[in-house]
Structure 1
Amino acid sequence: MPEVKVAQLSKRFAGNTVLHDIDFTIEDGEFFTLLGPSGCGKSTTLSCIAGLERPSAGSITVGEKIFVDTAAKTFVPPEGRELGMVFQSYALWPHMTVAQNLAMPLKIRKIDKARQGVLIDDALEKVGLKDLRDRYPHQMSGGQQQRVALARALVYSPDVLLLDEPLSNLDAQLREQARAWLKRLQEELGITTVYVTHDQEEALALSDRIAVMSEGRLVQVGPPHEIYQEPATVGVASFVGRCNFLPGRLASVTGTGAEVVLDCNGQTVRTRPADLPAGSSVTVAVRPERLKVLAGGRAAEGDANVLRGEVVTGSYVGSRHEYEVRVGDRLVQVSTGRPGLTGELSLIADPEVCLLYPSDDAVPADVEALTTVTG
C-alpha cells in the first residue's frame, strides 16, 4: 500500500480560509488519525484527499500518483483515485441487499459478474458477515451496517482507506468492540488508513500516529503516547484527555528545572526545564492521574510540590475514583484508586510530570470556567 503526502494544503470557502498550509506524510500501512473538535478542518482535509473537495492550494499524492497539484492545475476526480471511503452515516442503499450494496463499486469499475461474486464474498468474509449477504440494511444492527459499509469500501482493494467518524453512531459498548475489531482488521490487511474523529480516546486506542487539528491548522503530529504525555500546547493538553491548569509566574530557570509561583495559593512548585525567561507569566499543567494523594494533609519528607487542598466532590467511576480538590482558588481534578477521601489532603506533583506553557498559550474558556472557584 502506498504512502500519502499532503503538502501546503489550503482550502477557502467564500473568502474564509478553513485549512491553513496542512503538511503531513502517512507511511505505507499506517493508521493515521485526524483528531480535533467540530469545525477544526479534519473532515475537510479528508474530503480533499478523497476528491470530494477541491483544495484552494497545495498538493496531494498517493504513492506515485498525483491527485492534486494546484500549481500545475492537476485534479483527479474521486472516481479516478481508487480510494475506499466509509462515511459517518454509512450511506448504504436501503433498497439493496448487502451483496448488491457491495456490487455497486464493482459495477462502476466494469468488473465481470463472476469476479464480482468472488470479491463480494471475500470482503464479507473479512468483516464476518458472509452469511448475511442477502439481508437488507434495515434488517441489521448499527454495528453490522458499519461493517457492511467497511466491506463495500474494501471490496475493490483500494490503495488507501478513508474513514470519517465511522463509529460515532454506535452505542458506547458496541463502539469499544468495533474499535478493537477495526484495529485488528487494519493490521491484518496492512492497508494505509486515514481516520477522522473528535473522540480522543478512540484516536489514542486506534492510531499509529495522530494529527491534532485546531481552527484549520495542524497543531501536533506524533504517536499516541507522545500526544498524551508531551502535548505541544495547552489546547492539545485540554482536548486529549483531562488536565489541570495552574497559572503562575516563572521565578527561576536552570538546566534541570524551573520554579513557578502559583497564582492560586502563592506556593512555589518545581517543573521541567523551560525555554522561557524568568518573570514570564506561565501555566503549569498536570494530568489528574499523575497527582499522588496523601490523605489527612500528610506529606513525606523530600516530596516535591506538595499542594495542600480540601476535597469538594468525589465520584466512583468503576475503575477509579475521581475527586475535585480545592487548592487556593482553583479546583484540581484528581484520579486515584483510593476510595472515600474527604476533608484535607496533600497532592504530590513530581516535577517531571508538571508541564510548562507560556501564558499566551491560553487555557480554553470552558476549561478555565470549570476550574476557577468564585465566591
Structure 2
Amino acid sequence: MKRIAIFHPVDDSYGASKILAYVIDFLSEQYICDVYIPKNNKVIEGMLTNQKNINFYELPSLPVIHRGMYNIKGVFKWVFMNIKLYFLMKKLRGNYDLIYINTLALFSIVVIAKLLNIKSLVHCHEYLNGSFYGRLIKKTVQHCATVIVSVSNHVASYISDFKSNSYVIHNGIPDLSLKKTAPLNNGFVNFAMVGRVMPEKGQWFLLDALKATPKENLAKIKVHVYGDAPPTRKELMSKFIEDINLAGLSDTVIVYGFDPEASEKIQQLDCCLVPSLMQDPFPTTVLEAMRASKIVIATNHGGAKEVINSGVNGFSINPNGVEQLSSVLSKVACMSVDERELIGKNARETYSNEFTVEQFKKRFLTTLGLYL
C-alpha cells in the first residue's frame, strides 16, 4: 500500500480537525496514514471509525504559524523547527508517496516536500487574503504544492487563483444515526451558536442584534452558546459573559463553554447561528445544522453563501448588519412550527444532495487519484 504523511497543527474537535478525521477514515481504506501532530490528545483518533492503517506520532516541534510567533525570537524558533523537520523527512522520504498538509498553519512543509521531491497536497481551510503573511503563504503554496484543495470557491479565490493543479472540494459529513433526538420543549424558539468565543466569530454581533430585537420577540428566544475562547485569548470568555449580563440578556443567552457533543445538541434546537465577522471558509457547523433539518442563519461573505439559498434553506445576512440580523431573529421566532419545518426540510435536502461524507469521499479520492 502507498503511504501518506499527514500533518495537522492541533488535536481538537473543531472544524478542520473534524474534516481531517473524515478524510483519514476514507484514505486509510486505500493508503497507510501516518498522522503527525504536536500533541496527541486522542480527540481526532477518537473520531475515527476505522483504526486500521493509521498511526499517530507526536511531533512537538512542528512549524506551526500563530499570532504569538511574530517577533524575532518566534521567527528564529519557527525556522529552526522547519530545519529539524526537513532532516527528519529526509530520513523518512523513502517511506512516503505523498505529504498531506491540513490547514495553512503548516504551509512551510510544502517547501520541505518540494526540496525532497515528495508530492504534496495542501488542504486549505483558511481565507487569509489582505495580509502580508497571507500573500507569503499564497505564493509559497502556489509555487511548491503538487495539488491544492480548497474547501470552497471563496477559499480558492484567495489561495490558488483556480490554477490547473487546484480543486474545490466542498466538505461532507456523515449522516446522523437513525435514532431520533427529542426537541428541547421549553416554550421558546431555541437558537444554537457553536464555535470559538471571540469577536471575529460574531458573538458580540449577536448580542447587539438581540439588544435591538423588540421585547415581545426577544421574549420568545433562547440562545444556547457552545464553545470556549482561544487558548491565547482566554479572557474573552469572562468578557462575553460580563457583556451578556450588562446587556440584560442573561435570561436569553446561555453559555455552556466547550461541549464535545455540541454538534449533536443542535438536533434538539430550532435554528443554528453562524454570524461570523471573519470570512469563514466553509463552516462545518452549517452542514451539521442542515443535516439535522435546522434553519441556518449565516453571514454571506464566506463559504456559507455557497450553501445557503436565503429564505429557502436558511437565511443569509450581511456581516455587522445588526438590524438585519435582529429582523431575521424576530422572523424565525414568530414563524409557525410548520414554517420552520419547511425551511429545515429544504436544508436537509441540500445536505443529502450535496454534502454527505460519501459524496465528499468520492470527490476527494477522484482528485487524489490523479496524482497518486
The normalised TM-score by structure 2 is 0.27
Select the structure of larger CA radius of gyration. 1
Structure with the higher fraction of residues in strand conformation: 1
